[in-house]
């Protein structure tokens, strides 16, 4: 496993992150064995959020920590806040009051004293950066959160927030996969009058790389917005053929190649995998051993149905 340096204390964290959005589907015992297996593979960064299964993911992690003294210290733990549902209404809330309450509730569920990183989950267009900065200051001062970051934000939003908080925004977590790559489409079709040339994110990859923010890719095996997995999917026959061929050459599985495709971008990249199965988690960890060359990278991009100018 390769590691990147992350945050104010220069922690060494794995480039493959274990995402736990579906962890509550497992029993506590099953979750414990997945989390411990991940650590054995060198995956020392776990990602959760208060809204996953309505707190269920955090609860499962908390149960595993409670049953395994000493485990918490071995893991870099990241959670998120800001997505709310009340009386059937979904909304985003970056008010200081909500951020502070949300972190307290997360810490209680996770049975821990502090988060290693807190992400603002999805842009709240009503956000008031001064208020967020206040909340961050209190959370840091009280030792409840060590580092801060964002998710699904564009450069303008990050710049605006960064202007008010003294804590460096350490990461941006966004959706990227071989079959979901608008961030690369726009970069490859600059100034072209094609659909691919439409820049939807304001140059977020370049912005994060320039500002030394880690880029965390969520749903690295999905296409669309939670439409499905492209691996083994008849909709993506060409992509699967290419992934399988390269996997054979590299002596890994297509899963590892698909993740290596993300990690190949020359910035501080991390892939947030969401499997609940140890066998798939182990296949994924091998992505860290694969370095694709340019020809392979562009072949995969085109095999996913994309064109180059």
> Between 90 and 166, whose beta carbon lies closer to ligand NAP?
90
274 binds ligand NAP (CB under 6 A): yes
Smaller CB separation from ligand NAP, 112 or 189: 112
For ligand NAP, the binding residues in 184-223 under the rule CB under 6 A are: 218-222
Q: Which of 13, 16, 21, 208 binds ligand NAP (CB under 6 A)?
A: 21
Among the residue ranges 16-24, 90-98, 179-187, 197-205, the one whose residues contact ligand NAP (CB under 6 A)? 16-24
Q: DSSP string spanning the chain?
A: --EEEETTTTEEEESEEEE-TTGGGS-HHHHHHHHHHHHHTT--EEE--TTGGGGHHHHHHHHHHHHSTTSGGGSEEEEEE-EEEETTEEEE---HHHHHHHHHHHHHHHT-S-BSEEEE-S--TT--HHHHHHHHHHHHHTTSBS-EEEES--HHHHHHHHHH-SS-EEEEEEE-BTTB-HHHHHHHTTT-SSGGG--SSSSHHHHHHHTT-EEEEESTTEETTTTEE-TT-GGGHHHHHHHHHHHHHHTS-HHHHHHHHHHTSSSSEEEEE----HHHHHHHHGGGG----HHHHHHHHHHTT----
Instruction: Give the nearest distance from C-beta 104 to ligand NAP in angstroms.
Output: 21
Instruction: Pick the stretch among 18-26, 84-92, 104-112, 196-204 that binds ligand NAP (CB under 6 A).
Output: 18-26
List the one residue from 163, 200, 251, 277 that touches ligand NAP (CB under 6 A). Answer: 277
- Please list every residue from 30 through 89 that binds ligand NAP, using CB under 6 A: 47
**Closest distance of CB 192 from ligand NAP, Å:** 29
* 173 counts as binding ligand NAP under rule CB under 6 A: yes
Kindly list the residues in this chain that would bind ligand NAP in the complex (CB under 6 A): 19-22, 47, 151-152, 173, 218-222, 229, 231-232, 255, 272-277, 280
């Amino acid at each position: 496993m390769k590691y990147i340096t992350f945050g104010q204390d220069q922690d060494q964290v794995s480039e493959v992150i274990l995402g736990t959005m579906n962890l509550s589907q497992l029993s506590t015992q099953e979750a414990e064995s997945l989390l411990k297996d991940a650590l054995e593979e060198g995956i020392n960064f776990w990602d959760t959020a208060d809204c996953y299964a309505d707190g269920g993911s955090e609860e499962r992690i908390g149960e595993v920590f409670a049953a395994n003294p000493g485990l918490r210290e071995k893991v870099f733990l990241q959670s998120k806040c800001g997505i709310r549902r009340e009386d059937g209404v979904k909304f985003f809330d970056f008010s200081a009051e909500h951020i502070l309450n949300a972190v307290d509730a997360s810490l209680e569920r996770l049975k821990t004293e502090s988060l290693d990183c807190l992400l603002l989950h999805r842009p709240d267009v009503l956000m008031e950066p001064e208020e967020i900065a206040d909340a961050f200051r209190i959370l840091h001062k009280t030792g409840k959160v060590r580092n801060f970051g964002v998710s699904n934000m564009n450069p303008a939003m990050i710049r605006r927030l960064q202007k008010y908080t003294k804590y460096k925004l350490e990461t941006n977590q966004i959706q990227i996969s071989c079959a979901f790559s608008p961030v690369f489409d726009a970069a490859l079709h600059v100034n072209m009058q094609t659909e691919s040339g439409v820049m939807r994110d304001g140059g977020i990859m370049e912005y994060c790389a320039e500002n030394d923010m880690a880029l965390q890719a969520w749903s690295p095996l999905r296409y669309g917005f939670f439409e499905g997995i492209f691996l083994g999917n008849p909709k993506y026959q060409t992509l699967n053929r290419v992934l399988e061929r390269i996997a054979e050459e590299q002596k890994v599985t297509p899963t590892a190649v698909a993740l290596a495709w993300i990690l190949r971008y020359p910035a501080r990249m991390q892939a947030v995998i969401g499997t609940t199965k140890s066998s798939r988690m182990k296949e994924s960890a091998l992505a860290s051993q694969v370095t694709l060359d340019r020809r392979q990278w562009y072949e995969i991009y085109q095999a996913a149905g994309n064109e180059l100018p």
